[in-house]
Structure 1
Amino acid sequence: MNHRKSLLSAAIFSCIAFSAHAQDAAQTSPTDLDTIQVTGIRGSMEKSLDTKREANARLEVVTAEDVGKLPAHNVADTLQRLPGVNISSASADEGGFDEADRVSLRGTSPSLTQTLINGHTVGSADWFVLSQGNNVGRSVSYSLLPSELVSSVEVNKSSQAKLQDGGTTGTVNIITRTPLQFSKQFSAEASVGAVRSDQAESTDPQYSALFNYKNDEGNFGVLLQAFYQKRELRREAQEIPGGFTKIAATDPVAATNPDLIGVSVPGLLGSTLFEQTRERKGGLLTIQFKPTDALNLSLSGFTSELEANNYNRNFMLWGGNFAKSQAPNPGYTVVDGVLTNATYAGVPGTNYGVYDMIYREATAKTSYVTFDADWQINDTLDAKFQAGTTKGTGETPRQFIAEVTLGQGGGASWATHGAGSPVDWNIGGDISPNGVTSFGTWGNQLVKAEDKEDWATLDFSQYFSAGTLSSIDFGVRFADHEREALSPEGATPGDIWAALEGSATGNYPSGFAGDVGGTFPRNIWYYTPDALKTAIINNSTWLAGNDGPTGRHNYGAEWKVKEKNFAGYVQANFSGDWWAGNVGLRYVNIKQDINSYNAVANAADADVSSLFGMWERTAFENKHDRVLPSANIKFDLDDDLVLRVAASQTQTLPDYSALGASSWGSDLNRTGGGGNPNLKPTLSTNLDANLEWYFMPRGLLSVGAYHMDMKDYIAFDVVKRQLYSELTNQLETYDISTPINADGKVTGVEVAYEQPIGDYFGFNANYTYADGNTDHTWSDGTHNLLGTSKNTYNVGAYFENERFGARVSYTHRSSFLISLSGTNPYYQDDFGTLSASLNFKATDWLSISLDGLNLNNPTYKYYQSAAIPTSFYSNGRQYYLNFRFKY
């Protein structure tokens, strides 16, 4: 007997006797929300609390104060202020940026949180090249979703049978506006502003506009929104790519210094400058028509494109080239298995430094088209139909890369100070352009990711006028999803160095990485992006679509996952005098086809080949079907006191790259990653209880607890695999991080408090405690759950009268395990961000706002262990000034 299911069934059916009418999907859908003319801080907070209070499931809500005016400038930054919500600014191991990009719930990874728009999926894409091919999750990039489109955001923390499956820990539903919601026949709004990035020393434009029309009869309307936003960013950092590695007994230095066997040393220590231009543009068009009072039709299309060209320079001490073969000078120190202090005398012919300059042209796009029909068939039966298609594309068409060695014969040194402080390091010799001893380039290769889905849903609601059974919801959904990584063409480099040598150079900015601290090289030169791009383009042979042994088709970077998902559900909604709730079942049937490539050594075993090696095609098929039960109950214990209890089972499929990615590796440290097509979905058994006291208008005190028991949770292990090396032109052994199934649990407590003070002031705070663990043992001996921050809290205050508004907010998240970087654990340390906004309503048609982000100028810290840091990032502050015009 399955003990897990027995416990859940008992919890669910004990709720049936008290079950209540669940809030119908239409109740919080864009077509049925109250008028959007809710403006101001107090109005948005009141509407959010009203929606939360009336819902019959665990729900958090954020309502826009006005068009384009969320409580924070960024959608993800807004959500992190809710209890149980965490954010991160990166999807792979590209490190921390100044803007939130991923959202997760209740101490788990972003891939276990589902993000929808108006109740449907949205094709996602990333600008970062590793997230386009090697590290592809199921989370959505919020960088493509501007706040101007948002009417409200709902965070469903407890599951219902009628909710789309896929969010193990919950679902975020972003709700946009619809034409017939507007009170006036004509509405027009525009925002003209600028963003100032203090570290990038740049001021850039921000524009958005909205036009809405509905006819006199109020049964036809057109809504058009458009946006264009540009932003420069500069990140100054110390990076340790791949972390520290251990000296093996077979390494040459072990013969002279046996005490160093098993001791960790840095493979690379970097002084890193990243600069990027982000241009986001797109819009939303919605047409709504009600031919009769009983029939509501709408057609909606959305597109967003982010151009994100970037230049990353990493000047590095190359420990991997000497630390395992050369003995350090006497006097070195080893503490807790780490070579914490070491100096190396210069050896003629040895390069102590390596320098990567990587300029990438990158884009990310997303779009969708949906058709919706809402038909009230009769007084007791409603039907809803939706069909749509969505596509996300992330593409890096060109990478212009120079890798040079330098510091020959100059020696090197480093000193570590634990995970919380940068490593002090230096290399000797000639590190100017004249000191370059060798040149290499790679990656002049197209990398593209496509994410597509077509879907259709049909939902019914049958209402009853008597008895405790108030309605039954039932329906079906079908989706055809495909995620693919492509690298079909590239360029063969010629004599690029001859063209690049002596080209235009620039220098790291003065005061570089001053906020990071530490002592390491800062006065560093680099080739300008134009010089690098020109030299590579003019001295490379582009082999477009050229397959075969002499082509540049990188099959090893390609994979495809196709999924067909059919679901059906039934949900009974009950209500009584002082209670309400629902109980339901959702059946999910999924078929997966997974295609990728494995490297082989012999031509006889190869299906395809190119200059990158030889491969055999692999194909896998997985089938999963499951019934997912859920129950929610709400007790109105008093006029102002609400108790909620919920139980459910939820499921999330493994990340796309976890299933499909072919193995890949880095020649610098012989580590990499790959997929595992045999992974099972994560099945979570969830229990939730929450007590809410609405002690006054806009006032709330709530306390809740939750538990998630996750079977077949995704963790990572390290295995050895044979991959083709471009350095040696043969198969070599790499340490590959590969996903595996391992059970996990997380138990948590959430506390939230909102308190208006008088007519104009207010205060809000929340705290989340999450205790997560897995039965998988990481290489550092821990059992951490990916994404689990033990402590998260938010505090904020606001003031608002008829003309002026202001709010300040501070959020803090404790350290958590992200994943593996190379073969080493990759943690982000505690961090907190301070933001503030000022608003002035000059006239009925003009308002002015000033938003400040990252006002405390945080340094984002990452580490491998308590003794070994991984990176330190400084992004600076951002200020947004906007003039909003309304007609």
Structure 2
Amino acid sequence: MKHHKSVLSAAIVACLAVSAAAQAQDAQQEATELDTVVVTGIRGSMEKSLDTKREANSRVEVVTAEDVGKLPAHNVADTLQRLPGVNISSSSADEGGFDEADRVSLRGTSPSLTQTLINGHSVGSADWFVLSQGNSVGRSVSYTLLPSELVSSVEVHKSSQAKLPDGGTTGSVNIITRKPLEFADQITAEASLGVVNAEQADSTDPQLSALFNYKNDDGTFGVMVQAFSQKRELRREAQEIPGGFFQIAATDQAGIDNPDLVGVWAPGLLGSTLFEQTRERKGGLVEVQFKPNDDLTLGVSGFRSDMDANNYNRNFMLWGGNFARAHAPDAGYVVKDGVLTEATYTGVAGQDYGVYDMIYREATAKTSYATFDAAWQINDNLSAKFQAGTTSGEGSTDRQFIAEVTLGAGGGASWTSHGASSPLDWSIGGDITPAGVTSFGTWGNQQVTAKDDEDWFTADFTQYFNDGVLSSIDFGARYADHTREAQSPEGASPGNIWAALQNGATSPYPGGFASSIGGDFPRDLWYFTPGALKDAIINNSDWLSDNDGPTGRHNYGAEWKVAEKNFAAYVQANFSGDSWSGNVGLRYVNVDQDINSYQSVSDPANADVSSLFGQWIRVFTNNKHSRVLPSANLKFNLADDLVFRFAASQTQTLPDYSALGASSWGSDLNKTGGGGNPNLNPVVSTNFDANLEWYFMPRGLLSVGAYSMNLKDYVAFGTEKRMLFSELTNQLEEYLVSVPVNSNGKVTGVEVAYEQPIGENFGVNANYTYADGSTAHTWADGSNNLTGTSKNTYNVGAYFENDTFGARVGYTYRSAFLIGLSGANPYYQDDFGTLSAALSYKVNDHLSFTFDALNLNDPDIKYYQSSSIPTAFYSNGRQYYFNVRLKF
């Protein structure tokens, strides 16, 4: 028997209400005896999500919002991580983990291999963190700019189809917004008034959103307007080891004096790190639809989200990279597994043992898009959809107010390491107050701006057939012109800032700082207030622009641009039989890349441009890539409640923008850095997927599946020595630079998912994903790990809901995975789990209350270089959201 089930309306879901046991035993036999019960909320959204998943011809996971702004979690990315095979991360470069999910990836791969779309089209992305604006720019989208209020549903495509936009090697995420003509009522007005409390930041801030929708009586014209204004404070307390551990060299004085220390790992920097930020996100969405007749629907859409993200990072650090090279530790030091785990250094006169960075940045991130759509039913058997659009993302650090001081002169230092799972105990002696500062410097006052723009046009057609197994043919084309660039056009020539700053206002670190992460290290610390730091630098600096020519502070080494023209055309045949369906298709992709960057040179006569950051030559590279990408999806209805799927495809993702374009850059503190490689090939994956799904009752599912991805030209990172400009010495010096290289990789895995209602009001869900990833590339630590691969990921949850009250709790976990390189060393994020809960109370059809609690287990986010060498420990605290929802 061929089973069909209608997709339910956006507002209600019809389900059959009988005991779970009776339904599981013989739902078909009892169908005529069942009463129909209309449910919304948690149960309704779960039913609709499973209904969409079941009817799809490809492998897709679906999340449906219960109502406006009521996803199963407060954050879109947090919602997605509850799906099998989906991972999230809370940072995009090496800024460390925060309290909010920011990036989404699929099946044990990096976020750059997962494509994020809105209503099927690209969205320009931007980041607030300065490294993500310049040197570490991927192809993933920042979810911090996408409020949950926008979302009607989210589709996660795990298997490819020819008609889907190319760009997601491992899959794509399509965020679907509401449309005016889909609303049931002629006028809909809703508002959410609430607050968020950040426990660690000890701050409560407003969260406001509103929606108004109108459609005429005939359902031929509609307009929807959404707006949001949301603010919250973050405070992250941490121990950081920036750049990881270094190896003592035979040429270092410590190695000369103590040959047994040659090749031993020691901490370059050990930091007591306080980060604070205010995020204010404002924007909205406008959708207009018009149906001049039954065969034509026109639509215009515009979205914008702006976030102010000013932040202040203070990092008081033991400077091991300075003194641990210069002289050996006292007798009694301990070396274990090649690591200097215990060491005490008696102070040497004139030697600095500490360095303290205070960095206040004025940062913003914004994204927007505008589209025009036309859906035309040309005749009974032919339909067409057209879309033209533009999108733009921009991340900018307009000003960086930075003080770097050295201190602890002659006071000595010590540390004890306890392996990767615990912070180091460390201390430095000498005067570490402002009076003990031995030198002052400022760097990075440079403005940094990232721009991400795309214009596109698509034309999609469907030809339907009334007879035979060939049900329809989809065909069409897409053209996109995309640019991503990093700009650093001006900066400040510092004057006598220290004279103005040294007596400026200071504040102490907060009480109980970093108490949750453990370790014995400096916590009773001071810092210059943001106002004091900002005033001293602005009033004692000469802000210059590009027009100042060779004496100006145009940082060409931080600038690059990648321009891509992408043409694609596809044809897809869709089939259906009595108990099966599927599709087979081909997608042709042609990409033309222009890559512009700069390279340091020592001879001014050879330079194309110069500034206070050195001399540079322009480097231009053009790449052309064309490929045909096949795909096939088969679905078999083995029984009324049993579905088997099989999919095979080839998919492609272009390398990260900064991997292609970034000019070489370096850090003077540890003489490491990074750079791009314009000659990288795209990543091409050959994918296989099989899945068995048992829909044993309404809102009930048990599924098990396996997948494999063979990644050709996967992008990994090697290291090489390059001559780069040093701001400290104003000349070229040798740095150990991480450079992207093509390699091959593979991922194989298993996914298991289970959902079941218990009676009418309760339910449970769980899923587990196993991913085994490896690459042919050998990292510096000898491993062959694939970036982003957590071997084990699981989610468990439970819910209760009746007509007035709802409650939900969920726990999600992912095991350790490789992040990338920190300096020249691979580093990993340790296993990580979060507990969340949500409560709702419906007073009547017009008034309800919701309460969301995130990170209830107050997790620490841990990073490490090896089993013996930690990299960072972060504590962000819990967050609580309370909202009053009004519906008119």
The TM-score normalised by the length of structure 2 is: 0.96
3-state SS of paired residue (1:497) = helix
Instruction: Tell me how far 1:230 sits from its aligned partner.
Output: 0.2
Deviation at 1:546, TM superposition (A): 2.7
**Amino acid paired to 1:732:** E
Q: 2:666·2:737 contact (CA, 8 Å) conserved in 1? A: yes
Provide the C-alpha distance between the structure 2 equivalents of 1:363 and 1:254, rounded to a whole number of angstroms: 46
Identity %: 77
Q: SS of the counterpart of 1:96? A: coil
Cα-to-partner distance string for 1:262-301 (whole Å, 9 max, x where unaligned): 0001110000000000000000001100000000000000
Q: Residue in 2 aligned with 1:769?
A: 770
**1:419-449 per-position Cα deviation (integer Å, ceiling 9, x unaligned):** 0000000000000111111100011111000
Asked if structure 2 preserves the Cα contact closer than 8 Å seen for 1:698 and 1:755, the reply is yes
Q: Judge conservation of contact 2:166–2:651 (CA < 8 Å) in 1.
A: yes
Which stretch has the larger CA shift, 249-258 or 347-356? 249-258
Q: Write the deviation string for residues 209-242 of structure 1: whole angstroms up to 9, x where unpaired.
A: 0000001111000000000000001000000000
**Equivalent-residue separation in structure 1 for 2:552 and 2:354 (angstroms):** 32
Aligned counterparts, 1:89-488, within 5 A: 89-488=90-489
How far did residue 253 of structure 1 move? 1.2
Q: 1:816 aligns to what?
A: 817
Measured in 2, the distance between the counterparts of 1:507 and 1:35 equals: 52
Deviation by residue 1:568-623 (Cα, 9 ceiling, x = unmatched): 00000000000000000000000000000000000111000000000000000000
Per the alignment, in what secondary structure is the counterpart of residue 143 of structure 1? helix
Do the aligned partners of 1:546 and 1:553 also contact (CA within 8 Å) in 2? no
User: Residue in 2 aligned with 1:797?
Assistant: 798
State the 1:544 CA deviation. 2.2
Rounded to whole Å, the distance in 2 between the matches of 1:611 and 1:544 is 12
**C-alpha distance in structure 2 between counterparts of 1:546 and 1:319, whole Å:** 40
Give the alignment's Cα RMSD to 1 decimal: 1.2
In the aligned structure 2, how far is the partner of 1:885 from the partner of 1:233?
Answer: 28
**1:166-195 CA-partner distances (Å, limit 9, x unpaired):** 000000000000000001111000000000
For the Cα contact (< 8 Å) 2:12–2:44, is it kept in 1?
Answer: no
Matched to 1:87, the amino acid is I
Distance 1:89 1:315 in 2: 24
Shift of 1:37: 4.8
CA distance in 2, matches of 1:252, 1:346: 16
Aligned to 1:867: 868
Alignment pair present for 1:886 and 2:861? no
Instruction: Decide whether the 8 Å contact of 2:253 with 2:328 is kept in 1.
Output: no
Number of the residue aligned with 1:623: 624
Aligned partner letter, 1:486:
Q
Counterpart in 2 of 1:35? 10
Shift of 1:739: 0.3
The answer on whether the counterparts of 2:3 and 2:640 sit within 8 Å (CA) in structure 1 is: no
Shift of 1:320: 1.1
Match of 2:305, as an amino acid?
S
Q: Which residue of 2 aligns with 1:736?
A: 737
- Alignment check: 8 A CA contact 2:59 2:645 kept: yes
Q: Give 3-state SS (helix, strand or coil) of 1:614's partner.
A: strand
Gaps spanning 5+ residues in structure 1: where? 1-19
User: Could you tell me which amino acid in structure 2 is paired with residue 231 of structure 1?
Assistant: R
Please state how far the C-alpha of 1:399 moved relative to its aligned partner. Answer: 0.2
SS in 2 for 1:44: helix
What residue in structure 1 maps to residue 612 of structure 2? 611
Separation in 2, partners of 1:486, 1:203:
36
| Cα offset, 1:821, TM superposition | 0.6
Native 8 Å contact 2:239 2:273 kept in 1: yes
Query: What is the CA distance between 1:688 and its match in structure 2?
Result: 0.2
Q: Are 1:547 and 1:609, in contact at CA under 8 Å, matched by a contact in 2?
A: no
Q: What SS does the corresponding residue of 2:747 show, helix, strand or coil? A: strand
User: Whole-Å Cα distance in 1 between the matches of residues 12 and 644 of structure 2?
Assistant: 31
Counterpart of 1:702 in structure 2 is 703
Distance 1:642 1:37 in 2: 25
- What SS does the corresponding residue of 2:46 show, helix, strand or coil? helix
In structure 1, the partner of 2:589 is 588
Match of 2:552 in 1: 551
1:572 corresponding residue in structure 2: 573
Could you list the per-position Cα deviations for residues 690-747 of structure 1 after superposition, in whole angstroms to 9, with x for gaps in the alignment? 0000000000000000000000000000011110001011000000001000000000
What's the counterpart of residue 12 of structure 1?
Answer: none
Name 1:500's counterpart in structure 2: 501
Counterpart residue number, 2:25 = none
* AA matched with 2:208: Y
Aligned to 1:44: 45
Matches of 2:600 and 2:653 in 1, distance apart? Answer: 30
CA distance in 1 between counterparts of 2:788 and 2:212 reads 41
SS at match of 2:349: coil
Show the counterpart of 1:84. Answer: 85
Contact 1:862–1:871 (CA under 8 A) maintained in structure 2: yes
C-alpha distance in 2, partners of 1:600/1:609?
A: 10
SS across alignment from 1:864: strand
1: CA distance between counterparts of 2:146 and 2:235? 22
The offset of 1:36, in angstroms, is: 3.9
| 8 A contact 1:21–1:582 mirrored in 2 | no
SS of residue in 2 equivalent to 1:324: helix
Aligned AA (2:48): K
Q: Secondary structure of 1:842's match?
A: strand
Give the letter aligned to residue 506 of structure 1.
Answer: S
Whole-angstrom distance in 2 between the partners of 1:547 and 1:686: 53
Query: When the two structures are aligned, how many residues end up with a matched partner?
Result: 861
2:30 is aligned to none
* Alpha-carbon shift at residue 545 of structure 1 (Å): 2.5
Partner of 1:7: none
Does structure 2 retain, via aligned residues, the 8 Å contact 1:445–1:489? yes
Report the Cα distance in structure 2 between the residues aligned to 1:548 and 1:818, rounded to whole angstroms: 39
The equivalent residue for 2:858 is: 857
The one-letter amino acid of 2:805's match is F
Distance 2:530 2:776 in 1: 47
Could you tell me whether the CA contact under 8 Å between 1:648 and 1:685 is conserved in 2? Answer: yes
Residue by residue, what CA displacement relative to the aligned partner does 1:652-682 show, whole Å, maximum 9, x if unpaired?
0000000000000000001000000000000
CA distance in 1, matches of 2:3, 2:321: 63
- Residue of structure 2 in register with 1:17 after alignment: none
Cα deviation for residue 21 of structure 1 reads 14
The one-letter amino acid paired with 1:584 is: G
Check whether the contact 2:706–2:749 (CA below 8 A) recurs between aligned residues.
Answer: yes
C-alpha contact 1:21 1:581 (8 A) present in aligned 2: no
Q: Deviation of residue 547 (structure 1)?
A: 4.5
Aligned to 1:534, what secondary structure does the other structure show?
helix
The answer for the alignment partner of 2:677 in structure 1 is: 676
Alignment CA distance shift 1:378-1:22 (3 Å): farther
Aligned amino acid, residue 353 of structure 2: Y
Judge conservation of contact 2:553–2:612 (CA < 8 Å) in 1: yes
Separation in structure 1 between the aligned mates of residue 803 and residue 618 of structure 2, nearest angstrom: 66
C-alpha distance in 1 between matches for 2:462 and 2:256: 76
Unaligned runs of 5+ in 2: 14-39
2: CA distance between counterparts of 1:589 and 1:190? 45
2:550 aligned counterpart, secondary structure = coil
Residues 22 and 56 in structure 1, CA contact (< 8 A), matched pair in contact too: no
Give the direction of change, closer, same or farther, for the CA distance of 1:566–1:21 in structure 2 (3 Å limit): farther
Q: Which amino acid aligns with 1:525?
A: W
- Describe the SS at the equivalent of 1:130: helix
Whole-angstrom CA distance in 2 between matches of 1:735 and 1:158: 40
